[in-house]
Chain A
């Protein structure tokens, strides 16, 4: 796929009218991706965007690549079949929190544990948009919506924790207010050989406007977003005055650097084989009101599924020879009738 022709954002955009609500966070994600694709050195013809159902799932219609807008929740399964059949393709999966974590939760976790080389972008707006405003599996307890007039009583998922628990080899988080950071995360996910999950906090300005204002508005961002950088102590704050350390129970806790000294802070290690520390970091923010880690939580090398499946084919051909149909039909005892 290397040495792809030079392209621009326009080459990656279709002529279809984009039908998200004006002001939707999905626009900035779409722009980030269309601008990023020319830098990935891949051909449009070798790229497939697969989606399920939901606002986010309209994504493929706007990418001038191959694409499939499938059914609700199943996009990781469609993508798995496609990638197994065609390991040569670059396969992206796009969906929202309802699509991927509710109706499609099963497929997401299995795609992650199998480590199929697909890039899964989870647009998390903590609400159902396309069905007009019901609570989602990432909505906070107490969330008042049309289907929860007295407040949601559901414990929400933390998508990063879930992915780590599902044996994901690459897990990252970003948000729709920072194009550069999104592009960095998507580029990393693309480069990763295995299933990668990127959670994107995305604003639904119609049904859940401002859900992430408490962490990603420009004026609070430094204080509320914890940038994970591989090999560096985990610090944040306007003056980088705060940090994260792992206590004796293995929990991540927020501390003042002045109190504990920088050496006490956890040094982020994406490649740590055990996902325990990454999981602890993911638990720092169980709602959008606490300092929230963004960046790559985990990026480890593990056997990739479609390549492994292909190598079984090769091994079988090596040991048995190329399939011979007439031979197959005679593989059980036969007899002759004169």
Chain B
């Protein structure tokens, strides 16, 4: 199987590698390091980390498999790849659970040592797949990684058990050699990450170098591949995942508005990393509050908003459900608040570590009463930065809570990001009220907290301001004075005003941008993390001579004001979503268009291939009719 030795590498334009192993095997870290080295090398890339909901699922079982898939390319890419061409399987369970994803003829690299009786049984293998015909049609590379790692650590005064834990670095070293990745970034990282733990540094370094050397000495030459750097726009790049980008976007919004951040949050997967990230940046004036529950998290944020801060609460679907009543209060108080929902598979606890985009209707309607609020959606890991700034801008400018949707896939997957010039970021003007805005019957100056400007926005007067004492509350307010009012006509007017002031925001957001073949018959209307897969499918279809157009919504409420007109230009509007059809309902209801759904609810993003097939069917059906 590995008998032809060549010493030169061949160039390919892309490769998809999947690292899979037990959840204790360090596969996320291995994938992450490989990604970082590739990023620094200049490839375009896209990652898909997938891990179980359990911290340590039963060892060696299918349920405990943790995997990290990465596509690296010399060209622009937008997804982590349809099918991996290389699968690194650290144990039988990983092989069993992930072999089905591997492209025909792909390469399987296994840690041979893990394929012993007990592990085979746990994975449900009766016969050892390395010894029968199960892997015919694939290129199999068997390496005793545990044994080799133990051997190189033998002289390092490291316990055998600890030494074996470095075997993921052996795998990383091997794969780094096969794909001609630079080694310095990984070696430097090991030094930094394990500072103070000299034995761990020594073991990981030795294992990494041994894996690298193994490639050379075991004559795996025929497998050496290099992926030249991608031709990206000139600039400074960093590799970033969605949750980090979103956190930095919030910090940027704080800087651009001059308001300190208050984050009220309760730990929940996959949103907790935003709390962790922001908690690190107190030197930006960021206050983070780990509340006693989801309700306290949003409530504390509303309290901080009343006090004049850029108030944020971050969570996932179950948390949004709990926050619903308080969000209704924020709608009623007309106070700025950014609510971040990193969506995951539901209902209930569902698939906490897997992605889904099934909270859209909850974001739109999941509150009591008539309580509209803007809904913004991020579409790529790095674009979470811009989405966070935009959500903050709208919240502060229009004195409203804003729901910002991301999802588990965007949160954890990463891509190269061309760093923006911070001087070009939009400024967010905030003016606190400083003086009374009207007079009472006797002509005395008074402050009316619900008097509105031309955009129907009320003034923001914060405690401490002289003479502007006022009370806000969840009871219906008199239009203008804000005093409690049960007057029927006033309630109707206030309900109308609350709706209209959100609708008005449509004048302050970008018009619909159509990409691809503007004059096609089929328009793909996407939102959220489907952007990458739709873009990939579009590239393939258009390469094959098909015509297809794509619009991607970042503002879901209100919609861009030309959206209906744009949609009406197309014979067929297709809406791919990681849910059972939520945006498609909104589109059909709002524009009376017979939009067609493409749905997937498997806890995984669309692949470009899946969408290519489904879209092609619509394109061909259109031609036939």
Contact of A328 among B234, B248, B264, B463 (CB under 8 A): B248
Instruction: Report the minimum CB–CB distance from A321 to chain B (whole Å).
Output: 7
Known A77-B300, A81-B300: A68·B264 in contact at CB below 8 Å:
no
* Contact assessment for A69 and B472 in the assembled complex, using a CB-CB cutoff below 8 Å: yes
Known A68-B473, A69-B473, A330-B419: A79·B303 in contact at CB below 8 Å:
yes
- Contact size range, B: 35 or more
Instruction: Report the minimum CB–CB distance from A163 to chain B (whole Å).
Output: 16
Q: Does A80 contact B (CB under 8 A)?
A: yes
Instruction: Report the minimum CB–CB distance from A306 to chain B (whole Å).
Output: 9
Residues of A within 8 A of B236 (CB): 330, 334-337
* Contact assessment for A77 and B291 in the assembled complex, using a CB-CB cutoff below 8 Å: yes
Residues of A within 8 A of B232 (CB): 337
Q: Which residue of A lies closest to B185 (CB)?
A: A333
Q: How far is the CA of A320 from the CA of B471 in the complex (A)?
A: 39
Q: How far is the CA of A268 from the CA of B36 in the complex (A)?
A: 65
Q: Does A67 contact B (CB under 8 A)?
A: yes
Q: Does A312 contact B (CB under 8 A)?
A: yes
* Contact assessment for B291 and A82 in the assembled complex, using a CB-CB cutoff below 8 Å: no
Contact of B483 among A16, A81, A333 (CB under 8 A): A16
Residues of B within 8 A of A320 (CB): 283
Q: How far is the CA of A11 from the CA of B434 in the complex (A)?
A: 20
Contact of B304 among A84, A88, A332 (CB under 8 A): A84
* Contact assessment for A84 and B283 in the assembled complex, using a CB-CB cutoff below 8 Å: no
* Contact assessment for B464 and A45 in the assembled complex, using a CB-CB cutoff below 8 Å: yes
Which of B237-245, B544-552, B559-567, B579-587 is the interface stretch?
A: B237-245
Residues of B within 8 A of A242 (CB): none
Q: Does A207 contact B (CB under 8 A)?
A: no
Q: How far is the CA of A74 from the CA of B472 in the complex (A)?
A: 15
Residues of A within 8 A of B214 (CB): none
Contact with B along A19-50 (1 / 0, CB 8 A): 00000000000000000000000001111111
Instruction: Report the minimum CB–CB distance from A307 to chain B (whole Å).
Output: 12
Instruction: Kindly identify, within residues 516 to 550 of chain B, every residue whose CB is under 8 Å from any CB belonging to chain A.
Output: none
Q: Does B381 contact A (CB under 8 A)?
A: no
Which of B5-13, B307-315, B399-407 is the interface stretch?
A: B307-315
Contact with B along A53-67 (1 / 0, CB 8 A): 100000011011111
Q: Does B125 contact A (CB under 8 A)?
A: no
Instruction: Report the minimum CB–CB distance from A148 to chain B (whole Å).
Output: 26
* Contact assessment for A81 and B262 in the assembled complex, using a CB-CB cutoff below 8 Å: yes
Instruction: Report the minimum CB–CB distance from B386 to chain A (whole Å).
Output: 13
Residues of A within 8 A of B85 (CB): none
* Contact assessment for A67 and B287 in the assembled complex, using a CB-CB cutoff below 8 Å: no
* Contact assessment for A332 and B484 in the assembled complex, using a CB-CB cutoff below 8 Å: no
Q: Does B475 contact A (CB under 8 A)?
A: yes
* Contact assessment for A338 and B234 in the assembled complex, using a CB-CB cutoff below 8 Å: yes
Residues of B within 8 A of A335 (CB): 39-40, 42, 236-238
Instruction: Report the minimum CB–CB distance from B308 to chain A (whole Å).
Output: 7
* Contact assessment for A46 and B419 in the assembled complex, using a CB-CB cutoff below 8 Å: no
Q: How far is the CA of A323 from the CA of B465 in the complex (A)?
A: 28
Contact of B39 among A67, A321, A333 (CB under 8 A): A333
Instruction: Report the minimum CB–CB distance from A274 to chain B (whole Å).
Output: 25
Q: Does B306 contact A (CB under 8 A)?
A: yes
* Contact assessment for B238 and A68 in the assembled complex, using a CB-CB cutoff below 8 Å: no
Contact with B along A305-321 (1 / 0, CB 8 A): 00001001101110111
Q: Does B252 contact A (CB under 8 A)?
A: yes
Residues of A within 8 A of B240 (CB): 332
Q: Does A86 contact B (CB under 8 A)?
A: yes
Q: How far is the CA of A323 from the CA of B262 in the complex (A)?
A: 15
Instruction: Report the minimum CB–CB distance from B406 to chain A (whole Å).
Output: 19
Q: Does A2 contact B (CB under 8 A)?
A: no
* Contact assessment for A70 and B473 in the assembled complex, using a CB-CB cutoff below 8 Å: yes
Residues of B within 8 A of A69 (CB): 471-475
Residues of A within 8 A of B307 (CB): 81-82, 85-86, 89
* Contact assessment for A77 and B471 in the assembled complex, using a CB-CB cutoff below 8 Å: no
* Contact assessment for A334 and B282 in the assembled complex, using a CB-CB cutoff below 8 Å: no
Instruction: Report the minimum CB–CB distance from A144 to chain B (whole Å).
Output: 31
Q: Does A329 contact B (CB under 8 A)?
A: yes
Residues of A within 8 A of B229 (CB): 337
* Contact assessment for B465 and A85 in the assembled complex, using a CB-CB cutoff below 8 Å: no
* Contact assessment for A77 and B296 in the assembled complex, using a CB-CB cutoff below 8 Å: yes
Q: Does A131 contact B (CB under 8 A)?
A: no
Q: Does A110 contact B (CB under 8 A)?
A: yes
Q: How far is the CA of A312 from the CA of B284 in the complex (A)?
A: 12
Q: How far is the CA of A80 from the CA of B325 in the complex (A)?
A: 18
Q: Which residue of A lies closest to B470 (CB)?
A: A66
Instruction: Report the minimum CB–CB distance from A9 to chain B (whole Å).
Output: 15
* Contact assessment for B484 and A323 in the assembled complex, using a CB-CB cutoff below 8 Å: no
* Contact assessment for A67 and B472 in the assembled complex, using a CB-CB cutoff below 8 Å: yes
Q: Does A325 contact B (CB under 8 A)?
A: yes
Q: Does B556 contact A (CB under 8 A)?
A: no
* Contact assessment for A313 and B285 in the assembled complex, using a CB-CB cutoff below 8 Å: yes
Residues of A within 8 A of B185 (CB): 333
* Contact assessment for A45 and B463 in the assembled complex, using a CB-CB cutoff below 8 Å: yes
Q: How far is the CA of A315 from the CA of B303 in the complex (A)?
A: 24
Q: Which residue of A lies closest to B333 (CB)?
A: A68
Q: How far is the CA of A334 from the CA of B185 in the complex (A)?
A: 11
Residues of B within 8 A of A88 (CB): 464
* Contact assessment for A71 and B42 in the assembled complex, using a CB-CB cutoff below 8 Å: no
* Contact assessment for B281 and A323 in the assembled complex, using a CB-CB cutoff below 8 Å: yes
* Contact assessment for B303 and A81 in the assembled complex, using a CB-CB cutoff below 8 Å: yes
Q: Which residue of B lies closest to A66 (CB)?
A: B463
Instruction: Report the minimum CB–CB distance from A294 to chain B (whole Å).
Output: 30
Residues of B within 8 A of A74 (CB): 295-296, 299, 326
* Contact assessment for A67 and B471 in the assembled complex, using a CB-CB cutoff below 8 Å: yes
Residue from B304, B466, B471 whose CB has the most chain A CB atoms within 10 Å: B471
* Contact assessment for B469 and A66 in the assembled complex, using a CB-CB cutoff below 8 Å: yes
Q: How far is the CA of A68 from the CA of B464 in the complex (A)?
A: 14
Q: Does A157 contact B (CB under 8 A)?
A: no
Residues of B within 8 A of A309 (CB): 287, 289
Q: How far is the CA of A206 from the CA of B16 in the complex (A)?
A: 73
* Contact assessment for A337 and B237 in the assembled complex, using a CB-CB cutoff below 8 Å: yes
Q: How far is the CA of A48 from the CA of B468 in the complex (A)?
A: 12
Q: Does A322 contact B (CB under 8 A)?
A: yes
Q: Does B233 contact A (CB under 8 A)?
A: yes
* Contact assessment for A328 and B281 in the assembled complex, using a CB-CB cutoff below 8 Å: yes
Q: How far is the CA of A320 from the CA of B280 in the complex (A)?
A: 11
Q: Does A326 contact B (CB under 8 A)?
A: yes
Q: How far is the CA of A71 from the CA of B475 in the complex (A)?
A: 10
Contact of A78 among B244, B260, B299 (CB under 8 A): B299
Contact of A333 among B36, B297, B333, B474 (CB under 8 A): B36
Q: Does B329 contact A (CB under 8 A)?
A: yes
Q: How far is the CA of A65 from the CA of B468 in the complex (A)?
A: 9
Q: How far is the CA of A53 from the CA of B299 in the complex (A)?
A: 14
* Contact assessment for B484 and A61 in the assembled complex, using a CB-CB cutoff below 8 Å: yes
Q: Does B347 contact A (CB under 8 A)?
A: no
* Contact assessment for A84 and B471 in the assembled complex, using a CB-CB cutoff below 8 Å: no
Q: Does B426 contact A (CB under 8 A)?
A: no
Q: How far is the CA of A293 from the CA of B467 in the complex (A)?
A: 41
Q: How far is the CA of A84 from the CA of B251 in the complex (A)?
A: 18
Known A71-B474, A89-B307, A333-B39: A323·B293 in contact at CB below 8 Å:
no
Closest 6 CB pairs of A and B: A69-B473, A81-B300, A323-B284, A81-B303, A82-B303, A316-B282
Extra pairs beyond A68-B306, A77-B299, A332-B240 (11, CB < 8 Å):
A45-B463, A61-B484, A77-B292, A77-B303, A78-B303, A80-B300, A313-B285, A315-B282, A316-B282, A321-B283, A333-B239
Using a CB–CB cutoff of 8 Å, the interface residues on chain B facing chain A are 36, 39-40, 42, 185, 229, 232-240, 244, 248, 251-252, 255, 260, 262, 264, 281-287, 289, 291-293, 295-297, 299-304, 306-309, 311, 325-326, 329, 333, 418-420, 422, 462-475, 483-484
